[in-house]
Amino acid sequence: MISEASRVGTGDDRVVVAPMRRRHLRGVLAIEQQTNHRPWSHGLFLGELRMPTSRSYVVALDRHHVLGFAGLMLTGAEGHITNVAVHPGYWRRHIATRMLLVQFREAVRLGLGELTLEVRMTNTAAQELYRRFGFAPGGVRRNYYSDLKEDALIMWAHGIDTDAGLDRLDRIEDQLPVPLVEEVTGRAR
């Protein structure tokens, strides 16, 4: 579904947010093993990639090394962020922000007005990131992470396709330390 890759450079490295492909799955699975208490399997990711009309998965790459990934599932007029994960060695480098910017813009391009997700109640760092994108608490799924005996906070971002929602994305992008560049045009947004 993602037709364009977005490129950012951070000093000597170059981070590209691009559509996830099968060739990326080894790196995706390595990150999944480190960051998810119940990691998705290779087969599950393959299944998601086989549904391009209802799924959008991106990876953050430094050359060919996968640094992170994020998923978006379309469910009618809304979308669901299925996962956002970054290799722990690359936390606090705006990688999740970059992937979310690409996913939000893809959601808007597809005509979606709302996004939702679940996040662990104790994952306050992720909740803060999501709040920057306009997500607000909308409920609780009790014992959602049953093996951890932890609830999930359901968060919603409404009006992502409105002027205010698009302005929010522009502000977030403007705050990145290096401009986000669309590979197709080679120009800064």
Across the chain, mean pLDDT equals 88
Whole-number percent of the chain with pLDDT over 90: 76
pLDDT at 5 over 90: no
Residue with the two structure tokens 């093996």: 147
- 96-101-103-107 Cα dihedral, nearest 10 degrees: 150
Q: Are 68 and 96 in contact (CB under 8 A)?
A: yes
Q: 77: which 2 tokens?
A: 């007029």
- pLDDT tens, position by position, 82-139: 999 999 999 999 999 999 999 999 999 999 999 999 999 999 999 999 999 999 999 9
Q: Answer whether residue 1 is part of any domain.
A: no
- Residues serving a catalytic function are 118, 130
Tell me how many domains the chain contains: 1
Domain containing residue 84: CATH number? 3.40.630.30
7 Cβ partners below 8 Å, 6+ apart? 14, 15, 16, 17, 180, 181, 182, 183
Residue 62 lies in a domain: yes
- Tell me the pLDDT tens digit for each residue of 134-155: 999 999 999 898 888 899 999 9
CA distance 123 to 28: 21
Of all helices (H) and strands (E), which one includes residue 62?
strand 55-62
Whether 154 maps to a domain, the answer reads yes
Instruction: For residue 152, give its domain range.
Output: 6-188
Q: 94 in a domain, yes or no?
A: yes
- Judge whether 164 lies within some domain: yes
Mean pLDDT of 51-78: 93
SS3 for 162?
Answer: coil
- Within 8 A by CB and 6+ apart from 175, the residues are none
